[in-house]
Amino acid sequence: MTTHLVLTADAASALPLYAVSSPKLTEWAATRPVSEQQWLTSTAFKADAGAVAVLPMADGGLAGVVVGLGKGDDPWAFGNLAKSLPPRTYTLSAVVGASDKLAPGLPAWAALAWALGAYNFTRYKKTNGENGDKPLAKLVWPAGVDKESIERRVTAAVLTRDLVNTAPADMMPSHLGDAVKAVGKAFDATVREIVGEDLLAQNYPMIHAVGRASSVAPRLLDLVWGNAAHPKVTLVGKGICFDTGGLDLKPASSMALMKKDMGGAATVLGLAQAIMAAKLPVRLRVLIPAAENAVSANAFRPSDVLNTRKGITVEIGNTDAEGRLVLADALTDACSEKPDLLIDCATLTGAARTALGPDLPAMFTDDETLAADMMQASADTFDPVWRLPLWAPYRKMLDSKVADINNAGDSPFAGAITAALFLKEFIEPNISWVHFDLYAWNRSSRPGRPEGGEAYAQRALMALIEKRYG
């Protein structure tokens, strides 16, 4: 899906689309022709969020569409329309919102949600149209919206979704490397790839250890773009392309979605694409440690002690806690440059999902200003995150008798927090760092967010970076 398929500048023959909140429905309907009022009454239209009333003409034709915004001006109300409306072109003729604060931004949200909801992943499924066997409805670009900004956000999310949705055999570390190179080439970025035994030679021992059992060599993908004199923004994404759990093998039910274990990498790569497309005045670096956590005779083992790029030794308490290992080497490298802002994204723990569910990424940072800015960006973009504490007393849960730290420990408690505390061991003092433990997947379809891979926290992060450096 590309944005131009569902958003158009051609308003010829476009049908009117009215977006109305439920508290304002009666007031708005009173301004409409009697026939439309009667139709809305007879169909019991309440303007619930996402509800649609198709207005008929006297001759049976289509006169227009009313879309409900609900009680609180739900920005996702437009998210199903590209697929659910008759495949015509529509123009946003009125926005009657309940909130003076939200309503002015709803035209932009209409365009964004319309495009995000039009997404289909069709790589492996033959279809006869843009939406299965049915073409999509199109929306005329609403007046005054920033088209380029919406395009950037949609294409970033589409890239992330496509990467996460791709079958694991087609999204091994080498394929993820190809994706990074393609994005880098599009924006004249420099991309370096350190593969296999070269990881040991260049001191990335944990990336190598996690990925050495796979038939596809592990690698560190390193993209650099922008003026070196600009503020340094570094993105790190977990790129475990498939996670069997290693020798601590996952059960089949837990392995079914492990193609999405590179969701952190996909999220930061989409974000990087948006940053470069916006030509933000930053020196951008993207580090993606890419590996398959496979099982073979040379797989790393529980109770092994691994060296790290930082020099810390790590006892392996569980081979299924591999994401934090590859991130640790990448974060050490990232800190060596002392970036102004360091962000990592990872599908790291089931504990974060137990605490917050699939739709709410856990955020960890000791930087209070960064935390406040991120929460504001989250609210502004309807891209929710929730802060969890880097609770220092829990660090003892990772103590090891034979090494500097254990990667998992033996406590059943606070798994998301201890994982974040493990990562913190590799962050240098005075670096503004934030870690996101996210799910990268929609378990079921919701307006604007079809079932499958998802770019959680991406819009909020883009808003944060734009506000700081735009």
Same domain for 92 and 21 = yes
Q: Closest Cα to residue 262, out of 293, 237, 235?
A: 237
For residue 387, indicate whether it is catalytic. Answer: no
Residue at a domain's end among 92, 127, 145 = 145
Mean pLDDT confidence for 292-306: 98
Residues, the chain: 470
Is the model's pLDDT at 467 over the cut of 90? yes
Provide the 10 A C-beta neighbour count for residue 53.
21
Same domain for 448 and 383 = yes
Question: Tell me, what's the pLDDT at 261?
Answer: 98
Is the model's pLDDT at 412 over the cut of 60? yes
Same domain for 139 and 124 = yes
For residue 279, indicate whether it is catalytic. Answer: no
DSSP of 149-180: HHHHHHHHHHHHHHHHHS-GGGSSHHHHHHHH
In which domain, by residue range, is 286 found?
150-469
Same domain for 156 and 73 = no
Which pLDDT tens digit goes with each residue over 119-172? 999 899 876 555 556 789 999 999 999 999 999 999 999 999 999 999 999 999
Mean pLDDT confidence for 315-326: 98
Residue at a domain's end among 92, 117, 145 = 145
Same domain for 292 and 187 = yes
- pTM (2 decimals)? 0.96
CATH number at residue 23: 3.40.220.10
Same domain for 299 and 161 = yes
Q: Closest Cα to residue 189, out of 161, 233, 152, 227?
A: 227
Residue at a domain's end among 118, 145, 172 = 145
Which pLDDT tens digit goes with each residue over 367-394? 999 999 999 999 999 999 999 999 999 9
Among 250, 395, 446, 468, the active-site one is 250
Query: What percentage of the chain carries pLDDT values higher than 90?
Result: 93
Mean pLDDT confidence for 210-221: 98
Among 138, 212, 324, 449, the active-site one is 324
Question: Tell me, what's the pLDDT at 133?
Answer: 63
CATH number at residue 337: 3.40.630.10
Same domain for 300 and 223 = yes
Which pLDDT tens digit goes with each residue over 41-94? 999 999 999 999 999 998 888 999 999 999 989 999 999 999 999 999 999 999
Tell me how many domains the chain contains. Answer: 2
